[in-house]
């Protein structure tokens, strides 16, 4: 199974090293694939060149990283993990699923998602899919040819206390667009939603949890997102 992670360089910040070591300690027969920024550009140019112009057109770096994770899992198949995921269980049985995403939050009040008769947020910090899975392609297509309007994003900004630049990312490449895709996807039988029992926010089922370092966020969002 491929396990894919990314950071801007091969030199991880000290606070990510324990998470990296934790992932590697569970490695066993995995094919671990690490991409820095240069690797990402090389991958898109050589493996998925049709998306390169769109990739470079994205306004914020985090949007590019979000978009890359969907492209990489679509192309290679396997498991994507943010660098701040803490693994608590081996992934031996995750391959029994066609495609699996975590429920990040429940009882959300986002207007776009509520309008789809859904009240939970699906995370994109960790997910699994077989190669060329149609749901991952649906996410990619929805990002490239947006169904979410600027009016939807403006309504989300009014409803969300996070800075508008961050909400823009949620809606264009992040968990809101993934949640919207799930809500509107016609073949939900292909998908598995993972949650802890009892439920915990920011989990990845029995496999681990997202520690929410949010390295792309800061009080000065415009600077960190450039």
CATH number at residue 68: 3.90.550
pLDDT for res 114? 97
pLDDT for res 223? 36
Task: Compute the C-alpha angle 218/222/223, nearest 5°.
Answer: 75
Q: Domain containing 98: what range?
A: 2-224
pLDDT for res 130? 98
- Report, in angstroms and rounded to the nearest whole number, the Rg of the chain calculated over CA atoms: 17
CB distance 143 to 166 below 8 Å: no
Residue labelled with tokens 């992932």: 23
CB distance 6 to 40 below 8 Å: yes
% of the chain beyond a pLDDT of 70:
94
CB distance 168 to 153 below 8 Å: yes
pTM: 0.93
Domain count across the chain:
1
Per residue in 147-202, pLDDT (tens digit) is: 999 999 999 999 998 999 999 999 999 999 999 999 999 999 999 999 999 999 99
Q: What is the dihedral of CA 62, 213, 98, 178, to 10 degrees?
A: -50
Q: How far, in Å, CA of 141 to CA of 126, rounded?
A: 20
Q: For residue 221, name the pLDDT band (cuts at 50, 70, 90).
A: very low
Query: What are the tokens at 204?
Result: 């990845």
pLDDT for res 219? 37
């Amino acid at each position: 199974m491929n396990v894919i992670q990314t950071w801007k360089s091969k030199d991880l910040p000290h606070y990510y090293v324990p998470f990296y070591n934790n992932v590697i300690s569970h490695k066993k027969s995995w094919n671990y694939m690490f991409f820095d920024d240069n690797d990402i550009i090389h991958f898109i140019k050589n493996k998925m060149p049709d998306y390169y112009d769109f990739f470079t057109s994205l306004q914020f770096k985090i949007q590019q990283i979000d978009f890359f994770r969907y492209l990489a899992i679509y192309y290679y198949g396997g498991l994507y993990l943010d660098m701040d995921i803490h693994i608590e269980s081996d992934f031996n049985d995750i391959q029994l699923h066609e495609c699996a995403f975590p429920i990040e939050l429940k009882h959300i009040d986002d207007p776009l998602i509520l309008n789809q008769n859904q009240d939970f947020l699906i995370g994109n910090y960790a997910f699994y899919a077989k190669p060329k899975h149609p749901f991952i392609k649906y996410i990619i297509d929805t990002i490239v040819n947006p169904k979410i309007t600027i009016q939807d994003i403006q309504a989300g900004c009014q409803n969300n206390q996070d800075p508008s630049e961050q909400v823009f990312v949620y809606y264009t490449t992040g968990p809101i667009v993934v949640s919207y895709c799930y809500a509107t996807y016609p073949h939900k039988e292909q998908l598995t939603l993972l949650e802890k029992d009892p439920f915990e926010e920011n989990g990845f089922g029995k496999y681990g949890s997202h520690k929410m370092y949010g390295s792309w966020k800061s009080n000065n969002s415009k600077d960190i997102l450039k």
